[in-house]
Amino acid sequence: MYNKLLSFFFICFFSFLQSQENNPVVKEYPVFPICKLVPVKNQSICFNETIAEHIEKYFIFPETAKELGLQSVVNVFFEIDVNGKVDKLFAKSSIVGVEFNDADALNTANSIFEQAAMKIFNELPVFRPGKVDGVVKPFPIRIPVTYRNETQNFDPNDVFSLENIDWAPLFPKAKDVTPETSITLFKENMQFYVKKHLKYPKTHNDGSNQVIVFLDLIIENDGNIFEINSFGPEDYRVQAEKVIKKIPSLEPALKNDYPVAIRYSFPVVFNKK
């Protein structure tokens, strides 16, 4: 559970801090009491590791849900306010692996997981509040907590390849998709989006007829892109990564009805115009 929790926290926290290209900000993470003596450059790492340890310490699988064989992915939302306290805490559960015909029964099942997840974060200590441009600001955070039965034959916290999932991630407004066509559609939509929004660097007229940048992505199980690695000339890598960072949130990949993370690699071709 560790690695997945860390990666999820980072993407949710980072997306809040991300600024417009021409308006960079200086940001400081909220600080756990245990992290106060850690150098500033390592504060984000300390925060992620400490919050993952906190979740592991207070994680309890609800007995009722366990007896009924229920599983869920719960997204927990909260702010660390200007006083360093947890505020505006709420949770949203998504039951996986089963269907409910009765809406009240589904709501009750989701509520069981939501209450359990919120208890974890109610135990967080008081932080030194975060800052943006030197000004103390509240920081909204979202962290998923996975409740799964140990009988599951795979770890939903792993990162999978496209070939090992049931459904590929879907772009918004995708229609008439089947598990069999989802992978092809995902690849086509990714290429179409990149081609539509790709801009060439100013150095493109340097005599190169064609430049290829290879991208390696991790799309997390909330449908957001967490990690981007690129290989190629720097100016071209920057332009390719800018496009990827603007991709809207996708419907996540699914394996056995579980939302899972995937790794996807593909080339981006810059042709001389």
Q: Looking at residue 44, what is its pLDDT?
A: 79
The pLDDT tens digits for 236-255 are 999 999 999 999 989 889 88
Q: How much helix, strand and coil, in percent to the nearest 5, is found in the chain?
A: 35, 30, 35
- The range of the structural domain enclosing residue 234 comes to 163-271
Element (H, E) at 228: strand 225-231
Picking from 92, 127, 154, the residue at the C-terminal end of a domain is 154
Is 80 exceeded by the pLDDT of residue 183? yes
Picking from 154, 175, 206, the residue at the C-terminal end of a domain is 154
User: How does DSSP assign 200-224, residue by residue?
Assistant: --GGGGSS-SEEEEEEEEEE-TTS-
Is 80 exceeded by the pLDDT of residue 103? yes
Same domain for 63 and 168: no
69-80: average pLDDT: 90
Q: Looking at residue 17, what is its pLDDT?
A: 38
Q: Looking at residue 20, what is its pLDDT?
A: 40
Please report, for the domain that includes residue 246, its CATH number: 3.30.2420
Q: Structural domain tally of the chain? A: 2
Q: Residue 118 in contact with residue 26, Cβ under 8 Å?
A: no
Is 50 exceeded by the pLDDT of residue 175? yes
Same domain for 13 and 87: yes
